[in-house]
């Protein structure tokens, strides 16, 4: 009597082996595809974040007491595509004197305004600005008429800042973005200390 069981079992074992091999192949392809998709997504997010924001390192004391040397800030490059530049905003920009290093200052004057500095204070179109973020009187004087796309920027540390009082109005095209928050060191973590001013119309 012939034994037919051995070939049948051998045939079944071959099919199971092939199924396991295919499953492993598909599993490996799935893992590889997931890794590639994750990497592509990470790159997209990285480039999107870098296109919309930037990092800025505060050097020097020109923005004391609002910002301190050694702070790291996140700067939004999108803010002024969605809204207008406001008086009191802290902005990062390329200085018109072209020394190759970005500056950070506060917007004090807006396009078309007459800015005066006298009696230790800043005046815009004849109105004195209340500036709670400075801790001493402005130690210089002068008058500037801003053009259609020009801004007047000053450091909060008026006695030690290279800004519009020394090199003139800032062209709007030079503004890189608006400071959003400080993320290092931990003791200075928080939103950038912008200042809101009433509009000139509200003061009339």
Question: Mind telling me the catalytic residues?
Answer: 62, 105
Q: What distances in angstroms separate CA 118 from CA 3, 20, 103, 124, 126, one per listed residue? A: 113, 85, 25, 11, 11
- Cα dihedral sign for 69, 74, 80, 81? positive
Helix (H, G, I), strand (E, B) or coil at 124: strand
What does R_g of the chain's alpha carbons equal in angstroms? Answer: 30
At a CB cut-off of 8 Å and minimum separation 6, what does 192 contact?
67, 73, 90, 178, 179, 180, 181, 182
Tokens 């912008």 belong to 194
């Amino acid at each position: 009597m012939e034994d037919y069981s051995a070939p049948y079992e051998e045939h079944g074992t071959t099919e199971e082996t092939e199924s396991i091999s295919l499953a492993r192949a598909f599993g490996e392809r799935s893992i590889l595809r997931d890794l590639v998709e994750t990497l592509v997504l990470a790159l997209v997010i990285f480039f999107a974040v870098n296109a919309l924001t930037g990092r800025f390192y505060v050097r020097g004391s020109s923005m004391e007491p609002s910002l301190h040397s050694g702070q790291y800030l996140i700067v939004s490059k999108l803010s002024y595509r969605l809204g207008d530049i406001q008086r009191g905003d802290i902005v990062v920009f390329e200085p018109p004197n072209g020394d190759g290093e970005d500056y950070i200052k506060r917007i004090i004057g807006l396009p078309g305004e007459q800015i005066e500095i006298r009696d230790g204070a800043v005046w815009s179109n004849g109105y004195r600005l209340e500036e709670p973020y400075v801790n001493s009187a402005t130690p210089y004087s002068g008058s500037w008429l801003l053009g259609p796309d020009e801004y007047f920027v000053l450091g909060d540390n008026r006695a030690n800042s290279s800004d519009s009082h020394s090199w003139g109005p800032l062209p709007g095209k030079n503004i890189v973005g608006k400071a959003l928050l400080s993320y290092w060191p931990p003791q200075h973590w928080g939103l950038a200390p912008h200042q809101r001013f009433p509009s000139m119309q509200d003061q009339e």
